[in-house]
């Protein structure tokens, strides 16, 4: 998926190169209002594996971390690989 939990008690994830091109997580209706979180991968070529840039809901991310709240609020994480 491209998200790695660093520590069980810390509510953030490290972003790394996803294996899949597109991922959609539909969150529980009861807890998270049925929000959807999507991860889209844009590759420069078939062998691209290194993160070039990232955007969360249209805003450029300058770190390799994402908060748990960002995921449960829904949205789109775009990852460009080179």
Which residues touch 36 (CB under 8 Å, ≥6 apart)? 24, 25, 26, 27, 74
Domain hosting residue 33, numbered range: 3-81
Predicted TM-score (pTM) above 0.85: yes
The structure tokens listed for 46 are 């078939």
Is the Cβ–Cβ distance between 25 and 36 less than 8 Å?
A: yes
What pLDDT shows up at residue 32?
84
What pLDDT shows up at residue 14?
96
Indicate the number of domains in the chain. Answer: 1
What pLDDT shows up at residue 58?
97
What pLDDT shows up at residue 39?
98
CATH number at residue 65: 3.30.2080.10
The larger pLDDT score, comparing residue 30 to residue 52, is at 52
pLDDT tens digits for range 1-42: 999 998 888 999 999 999 999 999 999 988 888 899 999 999
């Amino acid at each position: 998926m491209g998200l790695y939990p660093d520590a069980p008690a810390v509510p953030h994830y490290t972003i790394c190169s996803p294996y899949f091109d597109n991922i959609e997580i539909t969150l529980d209706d009861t807890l998270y209002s049925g929000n959807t979180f999507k991860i889209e991968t844009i590759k420069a070529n078939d062998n691209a594996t290194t993160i070039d840039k990232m955007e969360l809901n249209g805003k450029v991310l300058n770190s390799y971390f994402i908060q748990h709240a960002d995921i449960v609020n829904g949205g789109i994480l775009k990852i460009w690989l080179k």
